[in-house]
């Protein structure tokens, strides 16, 4: 079992394009801060030739939104993500992974508010990853996902699917 701080990130946006609003939304500012602790477990159990494991992540978010002369702020736990994962060691320098991430709407959501720490829907996300260590000082990692979103019952909005851009990481 390992515990780690997967990330803390800050995102500030002052542009927003929403097609249902006819394109660019003027006078918008969205600031999101996140701390995302994650607990990982890798068991000795072998499944399909790989090692079975799992992880759970619970973000803590602070979000501020200003839009159309209104503003809102919310700070609370976000949506919880968990996943079973299988990792295949393909030699000393290459590891492949496959998981099914599930994100549950455990954060705060109110359809009448601008700032929310939840999407208010469940997401199922098959995931594939690869990590290659070509030298002692270099790591190349790749992760790709495909999201299947359920309906937001507060707004009856269904965003269906989302293909993430592959995440690449290189350390030298």
pLDDT digits (tens, 9 = 90+) for 41-51: 999 999 999 99
Q: How far apart are CA 140 and CA 138, in angstroms?
A: 7
For 136-149, what is the mean pLDDT? 92
Backbone angles phi, psi at 20, to 5 degrees: -70, -15
> Which H helix or E strand runs over 13?
strand 2-13
Per-residue model confidence (pLDDT) at position 14:
57
pLDDT for 27 equals 72
Mean pLDDT in the chain? 83
Reported as a pLDDT band with limits 50, 70 and 90, residue 1 is: low
Cα–Cα distance for residue pair 91/65, rounded to 1 Å: 48
Binning pLDDT at 50, 70 and 90, where does residue 172 land?
Answer: very low
Paired sense of beta strands 2-13 and 28-47, if any: antiparallel
């Amino acid at each position: 079992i390992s515990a780690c701080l997967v990330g803390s990130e800050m995102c500030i946006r002052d542009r927003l394009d929403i097609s249902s609003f006819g394109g660019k939304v003027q006078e918008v500012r969205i600031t999101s801060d996140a701390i995302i602790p994650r607990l990982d477990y890798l068991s000795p159990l072998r499944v399909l030739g790989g090692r079975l494991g799992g992880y759970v992540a619970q973000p803590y978010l602070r979000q501020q939104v200003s839009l159309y002369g209104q503003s809102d702020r919310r700070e609370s736990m976000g949506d919880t993500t968990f996943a079973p994962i299988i990792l295949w060691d393909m030699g000393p320098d290459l590891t492949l992974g496959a998981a099914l991430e599930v994100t549950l709407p455990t954060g705060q959501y109110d359809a009448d508010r601008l700032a929310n720490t939840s999407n208010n829907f469940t997401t199922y996300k098959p995931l594939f990853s690869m990590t290659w260590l070509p030298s002692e000082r270099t790591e190349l990692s790749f992760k790709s996902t495909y999201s299947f979103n359920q309906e937001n019952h507060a707004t009856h909005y269904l965003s269906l699917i989302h293909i993430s851009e592959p995440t690449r990481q290189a350390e030298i």
